[in-house]
Amino acid sequence: MDKKEFKTKSFRAGGYTVAAACILLVILIIINVLVSSLPSTATQYDISTNRLFTLSDQTKTIASTIDRDITIYWLVRPGKEDTSLQTLLDRYKALSKFIHVERIDPDVYPYFAAQYTDADVTDNCMIVVSEGPNGTISKFIDSSDLYEYDYLLYMYSGDLDADFAGEGIITGAIDFVINGTYSKMYALVGHGETELPAKYKIALNNDNIELDQLSLLSYDMIPEDCNGLLISVPQSDITDVEADMILDYLKQGGKMLLVTSPSENGEKFPNLMKVMANYGCGLVDGILLELESGSYVQNPLYLLPDIEMHTVTQPLKENNYFVMLPLSQGIAVEEPDRDTLSIDKLLLTSENCISKADAFNMTTPEFEEGDTLGPFPVAVSITDIIDTDENVTTQIFWCSSKYLLDENTSQRVSGGNQDLFVNAANWMSGHSLNITIQSKHFTNDYLTIPDNTATVLTVIFAVVVPLIALLLGIFVWVRRRKL
């Protein structure tokens, strides 16, 4: 090739093009390297339904308290990765410099998990590990716990609805390896109490609250390791001895989560009410009937009470969730008889709510003689300061509807009832940071519409919209006739 050809305009132009392409390629490589080093929160926007991979404020708050390395070992074989979990783990890794994620192939390292757990290892299970001041602390997360399934819906419709519970479980494990302890809650038995639904139990366990049963017939006092006493809708009253034991426990700074329900046989539960009377609360006779159409769903007995601001209710209120409480009983709140006692009304009916004294035999939903006019609290929190120096405080949460613990009712308000219950348990256990890290629905949430709103929407879509369409059609027809 003649050297003169290298000096032609076409060669120089081609050389400039090649050089520019090389420079552009180098720039793109540098940009790609820089972008790949950025956290996933800066490079991946969560456009998933129900914000599956957007971490809650509670997770962010807990992450901000981490002061030592935490490793999440993700045990999974190649090709078996749960993509939802992988994206979520990337979000955790980007959240704090102390959170590390390491992938382990159980086929390559078959004995790795044995140093932390005896559980069977399946793809996408995790082990959260931290080196605490007293040695290694770890928590195993089974992959089967990452998803919650509505098997009742499957039985009736054939559709298997799934919720992704990854964030609540992982954040609970991180909280555990930071603090290293479970809270122990005892559920009182022996009086026909309602057993907690499976989802409620899983939610407690994810928040490091261990639930066990307790029959006071076997004890002369409530166990010292009781961080909270659950009394869930007893069908018969506790005994005098049990009432005294519970009072002694509470007066020493005990915690109690109480759920009651109106009794069809007229049971007044005098011993249980003696306990609550010591804390300025009792029950209003009858069952609540809501006459304010915006405060119930379909049936005046299906209350949608107003949610008042409190540590327990704040996430529900801020995120516009409902709590549905059918067949509720009003809670009577007296003026505290001591400065150390405070009572907060968490859920409140409207002023147009009435308590029907003989609701099971009522002949009219209207107000009549013997009824009581609202508003009524249907859930309260009680605190009684025992010792300010030692930070000893009695805490009680009381809800007056058994449907707080009903899984189907909770599902109708997108888990609001379950969240309220778990929030109350966390509040009593001192796990306030864990309050309401909700499972994320792969399907859409249920739309709960108050009765008055449903009426307005019905009028709009059944009358107004068709009428507008009809008038518009007539207008167009008349105008064309004139042309």
pLDDT per position as a tens digit, 84-128: 899 899 999 998 899 999 999 999 999 999 999 998 899 999 999
pLDDT per position as a tens digit, 442-470: 554 445 556 566 667 677 777 777 778 77
Half-sphere exposure of 463 (CA within 13 A, CB side): 6
Give me the residue spans of the domains in the chain. Answer: 3-36, 45-144, 185-441, 449-483
Q: Which residue has the tokens 């909280």?
A: 175
When pLDDT is averaged across residues 153-169 and rounded to a whole number, the result is: 67
When pLDDT is averaged across residues 54-79 and rounded to a whole number, the result is: 88
Give the type of residue at 266.
G
User: Could you give the CA distance from residue 359 to residue 350 in angstroms, rounded to a whole number?
Assistant: 18
Q: How many CB atoms lie within 10 A of CB 467?
A: 10
DSSP state letter for 386: E
Of 3-12, 118-127, 328-337, 399-408, the range with the lowest mean pLDDT is 3-12
Is residue 229 within 8 Å of 249, Cβ to Cβ? yes
User: Could you give the CA distance from residue 74 to residue 57 in angstroms, rounded to a whole number?
Assistant: 24
**How confident is residue 294, by pLDDT bands cut at 50, 70 and 90?**
confident
Residue 48 has pLDDT above 60, yes or no: no
What is the predicted pLDDT for the residue at 19?
64
User: Could you give the CA distance from residue 433 to residue 418 in angstroms, rounded to a whole number?
Assistant: 17
Q: Which residue has the tokens 């050089």?
A: 19
**How confident is residue 323, by pLDDT bands cut at 50, 70 and 90?**
very high
User: Could you give the CA distance from residue 288 to residue 349 in angstroms, rounded to a whole number?
Assistant: 9
Q: How many CB atoms lie within 10 A of CB 338?
A: 9
DSSP state letter for 438: P
Residue 38 has pLDDT above 90, yes or no: no
Asked whether the domain spanning 185-441 has the same topology as the one spanning 45-144, the reply is no
User: Could you give the CA distance from residue 68 to residue 54 in angstroms, rounded to a whole number?
Assistant: 24
Question: Tokens representing 111?
Answer: 């004995």
Is residue 128 within 8 Å of 206, Cβ to Cβ? no
Residue 474 three-state SS: helix
User: Could you give the CA distance from residue 232 to residue 210 in angstroms, rounded to a whole number?
Assistant: 16
Residue 308 three-state SS: coil
The b-or-e profile of 207-216 (16+ CB within 10 A means b, else e) is bbbebeebeb
User: Could you give the CA distance from residue 192 to residue 260 in angstroms, rounded to a whole number?
Assistant: 12
Is residue 290 within 8 Å of 296, Cβ to Cβ? yes
Of 221, 192, 161, residue with least CA distance to 411 = 161
Q: Which residue has the tokens 């006092």?
A: 221
Q: Where are the alpha helices (DSSP H) in 137-179?
A: 151-157, 166-179
Q: How many CB atoms lie within 10 A of CB 101?
A: 15
Task: Please name the helix (run of DSSP H) or strand (run of DSSP E) that holds residue 59, with its range, or none.
Answer: helix 57-64
Is residue 95 within 8 Å of 55, Cβ to Cβ? yes
Task: Give the strand pairing for 299-303 and 325-326.
Answer: antiparallel
CATH architecture of structural domain 185-441: 3-Layer(aba) Sandwich (3.40)
When pLDDT is averaged across residues 17-24 and rounded to a whole number, the result is: 65
Check: CATH 3.40.30.10 for 45-144? yes
Mean pLDDT for the chain overall: 83
Q: Which position has the higher pLDDT, 428 or 361? A: 428
